[in-house]
Each structure stands twice: as structure tokens, then as C-alpha cells.
Amino acid sequence: MNEQARQYVEEFMSRLIARNPGEPEFHQAVREVAESLAPHIVASPVLLKMKILERIAEPERIVIFRVPWLNDRGEIEINRGYRVQMNSAIGPYKGGIRFHPSVNLSILKFLAFEQTFKNSLTTLPMGGAKGGSDFDPKGKSDNEVMKFCQSFMTELQRHIGQDTDVPAGDIGVGGREIGFLFGQYKRLRDEFSGTLTGKGRDWGGSPLRPEATGYGTCYFAEEMLATRGESLRGKRVCISGSGNVAQYACQKASQLGARVVTLSDSSGFIHDPEGIDAAKLDYVMELKNIYRGRIREYADRYPSATYHPGQRPWGIACDVAMPCATQNELNGDEAQTLVDNGCRCVVEGANMPSTPEAIRIFQQHRLLYAPGKAANAGGVATSGLEMTQNSMRLTWTPEEVDERLHAIMRNIHEVCVRYGTQEDGYVNYVAGANIGGFMKVANAMLAQGCV
Ligand code: NDP
Ligand code: 2IT
């Protein structure tokens, strides 16, 4: 980066931090993008004059609302609901809903900001958004989750719609929650529309939407490895998390011939050197999705595995790492350990799981490293395909959706290579994804004037 670009980033960031104090995750996500884009922006008088980056980093609208509900003891509980509508330059707002006690404005603004670039990379017409609540689904009964979802949607329904804003799942929001949210939306608005994605297969959901994020992450890994004449076959893979993304990343990686040796949750990780095969993954899916249990139970069931409480899986030797749990779950020290243990490829199923220090280490050591906004875009891409099917009032076959998902991931990889290849031939996927995702949004904003 030249001096002018560096100065642009620092001035831009100090204004952003002053306008958005106490929001470290939002600052982190914006800085990464600003650093990738700065050389292009300072070279473009029109981008500078039209303040495109300044506008992209300012949400178009944020809604914050009270979510009161009655628990099973008949007591009133109060949570806070949010929807950050970041950018609608290329389509209706689109992005997931997260239910987790850590949810706050900083986290949702970082996620909505990332989503804008990710959605653009899919080539589908979707703007960027994210929403959620500090509600903690852990330990709640199905009845309590339903009550909460109904109260949350009673307010949210005013702000969303199939041509306005189309939410989906994220951490703590899966098929069960989307069902309750959709039921209440339909009841209040008296319409059966594609306003949420991730719906059940029998009521408007797309085949493969549950699988799409994890599968897409593996398809992206295959493309990256192919640039070095390699593939997932025979590779040892460390995965973090054991939720939606982790489960289907594990399934596809195994189908493609890899040996997945770890899974985790916020309490610890399991290491199974023999590999988590299809039968063991069936057990994990039942444990997590039906009984809502903890990953430590895997080690009670399978003697080949050990459980490591309070630890993350990055100390286990692997060829490929797939962080699939949450933001900032892989720090600089852990990145160095992965490198020292021979890891060659890091593909992010989660959003912003690697800290800036970790990313620096991966890039310094010339690892294949792909950020979430490229590698995990298969989830929202398949949500986009669900929107298309809903508009056409028909359902494609799983094979057709898989083919489109695969093509989209291949295309995103090509865009990253096009915009991210350095003079020495190294592909900087961070730069590639940020520049590739930015172009379409920036051009749309230029065309649409000062809005
Ligand atoms: P789930 O709720 O299904 O699973 C989340 C997993 O991550 C659980 O194993 C959970 O463990 C773990 N986890 C959550 N928070 C933390 C934390 N603070 N520290 C350690 N572990 C944690 O969510 P998803 O699988 O859907 O999402 C995982 C990641 O993928 C997120 O970053 C999400 O934004 C991203 N993503 C999701 C997409 C989707 O389609 N669902 C699409 C693209 C990205 P525990 O049970 O202990 O909380
Ligand atoms: O982070 C993400 O891309 C998601 N949680 C999926 C969003 C969506 O609208 O499918």
C-alpha cells in the first residue's frame, strides 16, 4: 500500500471509530475491507468524490426493539431485537438472524457489512443485512423458543418482506426457529411468501439450503487446493463448531475423501484421530439437532476420541483448517501453531473467525487462506436460489441446486483469483473477495446517485 492509500485508511478509520464508538468487531471488519480497497479508491476520483466507502460503512437503517415473552414458569422475560439493513444497492436486504447472548450492535453491524460484499460475490441480486437478539436458546424448551420467536416476529414483520428484506438463519437460528418465525409472519401479514429462507422442504424451502454453507465451503477449498495441484482427498481436516455449518462441512469433506478429526462447541473440542465418518456424524447430528446436547458426549460414545474441555482445536496437526463456529475464534498464536504443524489451507465457514493477526501469519507463510465472505457464501447463495424458486412457485431438484451452488462457488473463486493475484503469483483471497465484492455494489451506488 502506498503512503496516500495508508493515509486514506487511517483518516477513514479514525472518522469511523469516532462515529461508531465501542464497536470493535465492526471496526475490525471495516478496516480489513478499507485496507484492501484503499489503493483503488485513492486512484479513483469518482469513488472518492461520491464517498462510496463512507456510505457503504453507514447502515441504511437499523431497527432496535423490545422483545417481551412469557417463559414456562409464567414469568416475563425481556430481550432486545435488532435488524441492521446495511445496503440495498443491488437487491433487497438479505442476511441471517442470530440468537446468542453475545449479540449486540457491533457484532450485527460487522456481520451486515460483510454480508453486503458476500452477497455481491454470489452474483445474485441481494443487498446486505443482519439481525438477531441477545436471546439464548440454550436450555429453553421448544415452547419458550416458539414464544420468543413469535414476539420477535410481531415487531420484525413491519420491516421485512419478499421485496424488502429477507432474513434467514445464523447462530442459534435453524430450521426450528425459521418455522416459528415464518408461522408468525404468515399469520400477521396474511401472506404466504418467500420472506424468510431456510424454510422446510414441504413449505417453500430449497433443497440443500441446510447443507449449502458447509458444502460450499468444501467446494471452495477444492478450488483453492486445485491451484496447487491438490485436493481434499486424503487430507486431515480440523473443523471447529458442531452446528449447521460444521456438520455439513464435515459431511462434504468426508465425502470428498478427507479425514475430519475435530469438532467443537463453546465448552471444548473432541479429537477423533480415526476420523468422523458418516455413522459418527449421524450421531453428532442427532445429539446436536434433536437432543441439543454437548460435543463432549461424543467422546463418551466413541472410545477413539478424546475430549479437551475449555480448548479450541487448533493445536491438533492438520492439513486443512475450517473454522466454522464464530468470530475471532482463531488468534495469532493458534495460527502460528497451525503453520508449525504443517497446515497448508485455511477455509472459513464462519464469519470473521480469524483475527487480523492470524490472517497476517497465514499470508506471511503463503498458506491458501480464504475469508468467510468468499468461502461461506454458499449458504446465502442457496438462500438466493430459494428466493428464485419461491418467485417462480416451483422447486428444483437437489441435483439442480447442487450444480448451481457448485458453479457459484467456482465463480467466486475465479473472482478472488482475478482481483487477488499478487505480482509474485500468491493469491490474496482477502483482497480478491473485498475488491470483487465491492465493484458491483460501488457501480450500482454510482448509478443510483446520492441515496
Ligand atoms: P449454529 O448455531 O448451528 O452452530 C454454532 C456453533 O458454533 C456451535 O457449535 C456453537 O457452540 C459454536 N459457537 C457459537 N458461539 C461460540 C462462541 N462464542 N465460542 C465458541 N463456540 C461458539 O450456527 P451456524 O453453524 O449456522 O453458524 C456458525 C458460523 O457460520 C457463524 O459464524 C455464522 O455467522 C456462520 N455462517 C452461517 C451460515 C448459515 O447458513 N447458517 C452461513 C454463513 C456463515 P455452542 O453450542 O456451545 O454455542
Ligand atoms: O452469514 C450468512 O451468510 C448467513 N447466515 C446466511 C444468510 C442467508 O440469508 O442465507
348-378 burial string, b = 16+ CB within 10 Å, else e?
bbbbbbbbeebbebbbeeebbbbbbbbbbbb
* In a shared domain, residues 146 and 180: yes
228-274 pLDDT, tens per residue? 999 999 999 999 999 999 999 999 999 999 999 999 999 999 999 99
Give the C-alpha separation, 248 to 50, whole Å. 42
Q: Give the chain's domain count.
A: 3
- Is residue 36 within 8 A of residue 119, CB to CB? The reply is no
- Is residue 112 within 8 A of residue 128, CB to CB? The reply is yes
pLDDT at residue 1 greater than cutoff 90: no
Distance 245 CA to ligand 2 centre (A): 11
Residues in the chain: 451
Distance 96 CA to ligand 2 centre (A): 4
The percentage of the chain sitting over the pLDDT mark of 70, rounded to a whole number, equals 100
Q: Nearest residue CA, atom 15 of ligand 1?
A: 326
The reply to whether ligand 1 has any atom less than 6 angstroms from the CB of 427 is: no
13-40 pLDDT, tens per residue? 999 999 999 999 999 999 999 999 999 9
Give the C-alpha separation, 287 to 106, whole Å. 32
CATH of the domain at 124: 3.40.50.10860
Ligand 2, CB within 6 Å, residue ranges: 94-96, 115, 118, 168, 170, 197, 351, 379-380, 383
Q: What is the mean pLDDT of residues 77-85?
A: 99
- Residue ending a domain, choose from 321, 341, 375: 375
Residue 361 covered by a domain: yes
Residue 263, domain extent: 213-375
* Cell numbers placing 233: 482427498
* In a shared domain, residues 78 and 177: yes
Active site includes 147?
no
What local confidence, expressed as pLDDT, does residue 404 receive? 98
Give the H/E segment covering residue 86. strand 76-87
* In a shared domain, residues 238 and 352: yes
Q: What is the mean pLDDT of residues 196-225?
A: 98
108-129 pLDDT, tens per residue? 999 999 999 999 999 999 999 9
Give the C-alpha separation, 205 to 32, whole Å. 34
Give the C-alpha separation, 196 to 202, whole Å. 14
* In a shared domain, residues 156 and 8: no
